[in-house]
Structure 1
């Protein structure tokens, strides 16, 4: 379980994350949704120790992220940030191999190579494995970065807006892969998403943020309701159902 207790982050006088106490359950897919500026990415960055907290604590399976050695935490938790830039001209395989560094310290073993090959295959990147990143489309590069995170082989996989640069077809494919990673590989997947439909279809648990606070949280059916979503986004949101089954969320 990921637990945040009274976590806050301020930039000057601006409180971006405001006293957030939250339990993210182990296992399955948890999506963090909410309008721009709600604090979603900032919260995820503090959980992964990419950002310091102004106040509060974060634990992952009881390990305090501020006190746990980096190599220990990196074997438990991995993250894909929104902004991924690699200045060196490297291949997809080289990028994915970076995910093994917490295990290999740069000296790849047969097990490391197996994990790299598995991650490349999982993201259907076999035909692109020896291509340079600057030769790929934005969507292909995004898949390569996700493969790098999966190659790290952590229990917890955090993805900050992983659908960036992906068209609808590939976005759906990515969400299916994350669903499979949770179901088949036993990962706990935590995503920041803007698309409510993808969150509703593929998530076991949804956390909604607004103005730096947790506005609502619960299982998908509890969260994907017009009155809940309309309050969070401050606009009229409708939910289309047929026979009691959710079909889509749309803006009316």
Structure 2
């Protein structure tokens, strides 16, 4: 589903050949304030394309605000976000909408829609409302991928919270962007469907070539399903790297201010913090 960039006119390595742009999400000194409160504080980080990135941290750490600035849903008060070499604040909206898709926390709609209507909205950046056979194929594929085909003609208000969450994720996948941003996608999901959602994120990265960036509260889902974990606190990045580097007693105790012990289970790091 991911488009592949065509080769430059000049042969690689020859004089005058265009250098390929590094694919990444890069934040450079990104800051967001609400009055005197600094919510995201001078964040600089580079997230190379590919795989699953999870952003963790306590409430108020700035995780969702940072993701919203990456998606250009919120303007920054300082610094900039660059995606594949383009400043998101200076690039045309329709261009960025074909590159970045986001699932927001507040998925409330004023109109009554069926599941299929909602997922079809994901094609709007490509079609401006004039759907084609190709668009319908993308919608069908997203519905099937999220196991929503049998529910496609149901109205959203007739679904469970977990089914509705999957419908919004299907809309984002139908948008067919290189980068998929999921803000707390495990909201309203029980253990079975939370696991299925993380497996979906993993498959989207591995099978479809997407870069999935997700905000999570469950550090163990982040540890077991991610390639990169970013830990935030008080608007700043405390640590980022592989789960082996970030899911440690030292980092998690600093981030959450609770006693955390780490255990290795089948080669994965699991944090215990219940006692």
1:155 aligns with 2:185: no
Is 2:154 the counterpart of 1:117? no
The Cα shift of 1:242 comes to: 4.5
Cα drift, residue 248 of structure 1: 2.4
* Residue 249 (str. 1) matches residue 271 (str. 2): yes
Q: Could you list the runs of 4 or more consecutive aligned residues of structure 1 that deviate by over 4 angstroms after TM superposition?
A: none
CA distances 1:147-196 after superposition (whole Å, capped 9, x unpaired): 00000000000000000000010000000000000000000000000000
- Equivalent residue for 1:15, pick from 38, 42, 51: 38
State whether residues 239 and 246 of structure 1, in contact with CA within 8 Å, keep that contact through their aligned partners in structure 2: no
Residue 224 of structure 1: how far off its partner (Å) = 1.1
Deviations 1:34-91 (A, max 9, x none): 0110000000000100001010010100111001101100000111110001111110
Find the partner of 1:138 among 161, 165, 180. 161
Does residue 1:169 correspond to 2:192, yes or no?
Answer: yes
CA contact (8 A) 2:223 2:269 kept: no
Q: How does 1:38-57 map to 2 (within 5 A)?
A: 38-57=61-80
Alpha-carbon distance between aligned partners in 1 of 2:268 and 2:163, rounded to the nearest angstrom: 30
What is the distance in 2 between the residues matched to 1:6 and 1:37? 19
Report 1:88-103 matches (<5 A). 88-103=111-126
Inter-partner Cα distance in structure 2 for 1:153 and 1:246? 31
1:216 aligns with 2:239: yes
Structure 1 position 31 matched with structure 2 position 54: yes
1:249 shift after superposition: 1.4
Q: Distance in 2 between matches of 1:142 and 1:242?
A: 29
- For 1:228-243, what aligned pairs fall within 5 Å after superposition? 228-242=251-265
Q: Under a length normalisation based on structure 1, what TM-score does the superposition of the two structures give?
A: 0.98
Rounded to whole Å, the distance in 1 between the matches of 2:31 and 2:184 is 21
Pick closer, same or farther for the CA change 1:92–1:242 going to 2, 3 Å: closer
How many residues were matched structurally? 251
Aligned to 1:106: 129
The answer to which of 81-90 and 183-192 deviates more is 81-90
The equivalences for 1:194-209 within 5 A come to: 194-209=217-232
Output the CA distance in 2 between the equivalents of 1:241 and 1:215: 23
Q: Deviations over 1:99-141 (max 9, x none)?
A: 0000011011111000000000000001100000010011100
TM-score by length of 2: 0.90
CA-CA distance at 1:246 after TM superposition: 2.6
1:189 counterpart SS class: strand
CA distance in 2, matches of 1:219, 1:247: 11
1:86 counterpart (109, 114, 133): 109
In structure 2, do the counterparts of structure 1 residues 247 and 9 end up closer, same or farther at CA, with 3 Å as the change threshold? closer
RMSD after superposition: 0.9
Residue in 2 that maps onto 1:60:
83
Determine if contact 2:39/2:234 at 8 Å carries over to the other structure: yes
